Amino acid sequence: MKFTVKQIQIADHVYDAVNAEGRFGFRAAAALFPEYHARLDTMMSGSKGYKSQYAEYYSPVCEIEAEDLNGVFRIGNVGPEDRITRLGQMHSVSVGDIIVDPQGVEYMVDSFGFKELTNV
């Protein structure tokens, strides 16, 4: 089955702002850049930090051929690479990422397992 992985991509200028702010860069950048705020909330808390308005910051980064969500997570971290079709720049599949199954149902990668986003 083919699954799509969506991630929040943070532009270099946002990371530059985080680093320029020094020790308190995370909070300052989150206040200035809503996509960074969304990334922090979901990366740290998974589905508990997700808000529906964050959907606009996610974009498809790859398609992964796998049997299930656990397979997507595994392949998105350790391969094999030939099961991944990259659609853009991506990082390994991790907490806060969204996996879309072949039926179009979206799941957030949580600290333990996955949470269907229609239930969030």
Looking up tokens 């705020």, which residue turns up?
37
> Which residue in 91, 101, 47, 97 sits closest to 69, CA to CA?
101
DSSP 45-103: HGGGG--GGGGGGEEEEEEEE-SSHHHHHHHHHH--GGGEEE-S------TT-EEE-TT
Burial 56-76 (b: 16+ CB within 10 A, else e): ebbeebbbbebeebeebbbbb
Range of 24's domain?
2-119
The answer to which of 25-29, 61-65, 70-74, 101-105 has the lowest mean pLDDT is 25-29
Q: Residue 45: is its pLDDT beyond 80?
A: yes
pTM, entire model: 0.88
Q: Residue 101: is its pLDDT beyond 60?
A: yes
Based on the structure, what is the number of domains in the chain? 1
One-letter identity of residue 67: E
| Dist. CA 102–CA 106, nearest whole Å | 10
